Amino acid sequence: MESETCKKELVIEIPPDIVKQESEAVTAQYRRLARIPGFRPGRAPASLIRRHYQDDIRNEVVQSLLPRYFENAIKEQKMSVIGRPHFDDLKFEEDTPLTATARFEVLPDFELEEYKGLEVEQGPFEVSEEEVSQTLEELRQRAATYEPVEDRAAQDGDYVTVNYRGVDKADAEAKPLEANDAMVHLSAEGSVPEFTENLRDAKPGDVREFDVNYPEDYASKPLAGKSLSYRVEIQAVKKKVVPELDDEFAKSVSEFKTMDELKDRVSENLAARKKYVAETEAKQGLLNQLVVAHSFPVPDTLVEGQVDGKLERFLNQLISQGMDPRTVGLDWQKLREDAKPEAEKDVRGSLILEKVGEAEAIEVKEEEVDELIRELAQERHEAPAALKTRLTRDGELPTIERRLRNQKALDLIYQHAKIKPKSENVPDKAEG
């Protein structure tokens, strides 16, 4: 293994008699199936078959023997190979050994540093009255209704339902921007000022026409820097009605009968969430310490696989936001390079946790695997049984088990850690 990598080379040598035996076996298979003019199937001489299908027979012999002898060699040397080997320098001559150089990567062999008794800071779990009030206010806002305004025109703060059509003033051939029953919140933060200015004092049935010049840095990229001419038909003017925080509200948004019960549950949920976040951050801090303490090389194959996963998630995120990855002009090669340092840390951390799992003889039960599969199936809107069947078929169950074992290893490290309250960053007082 090279000093700073997990790369290895191994010369595979297969005896001539084994090569000859395999060649004869492959030739016999071709002889049974080949159709040679002038001969009935299975009757053509072996020498003629070898002449006609020389390259195909050689390829099959190589593909049959090399992987088999490679597997035997790595078992003898007790190597943990990552990915598939790449064979080079192939030498295949009659009556001589078949030789090739296998290039591959192995798991690093490293000494596990101390992982118990590490110190880490952890944030508080306490929930303030302000946080509870803010959450209840968010529930209250989500429960709001929108009631039509009958006795006046639209004013700031109202919600105006409109049908609109916007035409690009610089490109008459461009597809118009159209929407029906769109809701415009007048004077709201982030709203287009021209819509507020031109829809103020409007009533249902009115039609307003006006231009909107979007700035170059406008959040919606398709509209940035463009000028559109709008025709807007006002359908309705509504006001937002927010319910009172009382027992009736509690009944309408939860299974509780009183506001006090709802408030208690909100406080419990906030505390549980803060506890989860604080513990997760502390565990990541512990893992980061272990990553820094271990300087062994990691396999490029695993790093590239981690990068692939990160880019795939980023790609799915773009698609979920309605963006076409082919048109956003991203430098994918640069994204790959930028993602590698973090990917290498992730791989190193995973290998450390696997080592801890081995040292502690951590086991994963089948029911724990099934529970994680149920959670994954729920996220993917898939039947758990169908997902488990597919994971089993694709050989992905060991990955699920490794993920659970690593999580258990990290939990063990956390349980044996010295937890300190997270210190507040207080700015230094100015001198004077």
- pLDDT at residue number 332: 87
| Spatial CA neighbour of 236 closest among 194, 199, 289, 291 | 199
257: domain CATH number is 1.10.3120.10
Is the domain of 259 the same as that of 396? yes
Examine residue 380 and state whether it is found in any structural domain, yes or no: yes
Listed residue (174, 179, 307, 185) closest to 237, CA to CA:
185
Is the pLDDT at 430 greater than 60, yes or no?
Answer: no
Say whether both 259 and 400 belong to one domain.
yes
pLDDT at 230 over 60: yes
- Where is average pLDDT lowest: 12-21, 206-215, 217-226? 217-226
Residues 258 and 348 in one domain: yes
d(CA 104, CA 67): 12
CATH number at 229 reads: 3.10.50.40
Q: How confident is the model at residue 379 (pLDDT cuts 50, 70, 90)?
A: confident
pLDDT band of residue 1 (cuts 50, 70, 90) is very low
Identify the band that residue 425 occupies on the pLDDT scale cut at 50, 70 and 90. Answer: low
| Residue 279 confidence (pLDDT) above 80 | yes
- Tell me how far CA of residue 324 lies from CA of 109, 218, 223, 316, 358, in angstroms: 43, 18, 16, 10, 44
pLDDT, average across residues 292-320: 90
Q: Domain boundary at 84, 106, 128, which?
A: 106
In whole angstroms, what is the distance from residue 359 CA to residue 353 CA? 10
**What is the reported pLDDT for 427?**
46
Tokens 């995973």 locate to 350
Can you give the pLDDT at residue 424?
60
136 lies in some domain: no
Number of domains in the chain: 3
Q: Is the pLDDT of residue 31 over 90?
A: no
Full domain range(s) for residue 161: 145-241
Based on the fold, state whether residues 197 and 79 are members of the same structural domain: no
28-32, 184-188, 202-206, 395-399: least confident range = 28-32
Q: Give the pTM.
A: 0.74
Residue 113 scores a pLDDT above 60: yes
Render pLDDT for 48-78 as a digit per residue (tens, 0 to 9): 888 888 889 899 999 999 999 999 999 998 8
Band the pLDDT of 85: cuts 50, 70, 90: very high
Report the run of H or E that residue 420 belongs to, with start and end. Answer: strand 418-421
| Domain termination residue (choose one: 106, 125, 157) | 106
pLDDT digits (tens, 9 = 90+) for 170-204: 988 889 999 999 999 999 988 899 999 999 999 99
Give the mean model confidence (pLDDT) for residues 362-385.
Answer: 92
User: Does 137 reside within a domain?
Assistant: no
Q: Is 121 a member of any domain?
A: no
How high does pLDDT run on average in the chain? 90
